[in-house]
């Protein structure tokens, strides 16, 4: 009789439910945090590419100046510019838009990101998330007067 009452008792059910759901809840929370870190870095490199393009569209600046500005922006934002991939921007590209010729420049930035939270979880299951590269680019119209396309 005492054993039967003990088996029908609900005491401890909350503990078991918590033990079963807590890992999933923690995984979702860690995923949200990791996404926040990735999004923050992506926004920084997007803004760095925009700053480089902004410098490059001005007539008095060279592609190396745009590359320098991108690195300065990354350093100011707390990212290590020495691990960033900032290829030297190419020459302006002519495009026809509405019958006019416009010249545009594009600056591209790549930055490696490792997933520190998911790396530990992945190692537990025999997976390696490693490091992946975030890419951002910005295209802006130059200050050159519109004319006919070549």
Report the alpha-carbon distance of residue 54 to residue 72 in Å, rounded. Answer: 14
Give the tens place of pLDDT for each residue, 125-150.
Answer: 777 777 788 999 999 988 666 555 66
For the stretch 88-92, contacts whose Cβ atoms lie closer than 8 Å and that sit 24 or more positions apart, written own/partner, are: 88/63, 88/64, 89/52, 89/53, 89/56, 89/63, 90/63, 92/142, 92/144
Q: What is the pLDDT of residue 114?
A: 84
Confidence (pTM): 0.77
For 112-134, give the DSSP string: EEE-HHHHHHHHHTT----EEEE
Find, among 112, 130, 44, 74, the residue nearest to 36 by Cα: 44
pLDDT of residue 110: 95
pLDDT digits (tens, 9 = 90+) for 46-67: 999 999 999 988 888 888 999 9
Q: What single string gives the DSSP state of each residue in 73-111?
A: HHHHTT--GGGSB-PPP---EEEEETTEEEEEEEEEEEE
Residue 5 CA to chain centroid, in angstroms? Answer: 57
Distance in angstroms (rounded) separating the CA atoms of residues 129 and 61: 40
CA dihedral 104, 146, 57, 46 (to 10 degrees): -40
């Amino acid at each position: 009789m005492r054993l039967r009452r003990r088996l029908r008792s609900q005491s401890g059910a909350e503990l078991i439910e918590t033990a079963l759901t807590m890992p999933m809840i923690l995984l979702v929370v860690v995923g949200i945090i990791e996404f926040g870190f990735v999004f923050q870095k992506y926004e920084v490199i997007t803004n760095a590419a925009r700053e480089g393009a902004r410098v490059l569209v001005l007539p008095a600046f060279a592609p190396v100046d745009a590359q320098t500005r991108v690195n300065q922006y990354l350093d100011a934002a707390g990212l290590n510019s020495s691990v960033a991939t900032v290829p030297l921007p190419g020459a302006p590209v002519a495009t026809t838009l509405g019958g006019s010729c416009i010249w545009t420049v594009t600056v591209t930035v790549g930055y490696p990101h490792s997933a520190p939270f998911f790396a530990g979880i992945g190692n537990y299951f025999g997976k390696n998330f490693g490091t992946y590269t975030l890419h951002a680019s910005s295209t802006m119209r130059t200050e050159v007067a519109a004319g006919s396309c070549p």
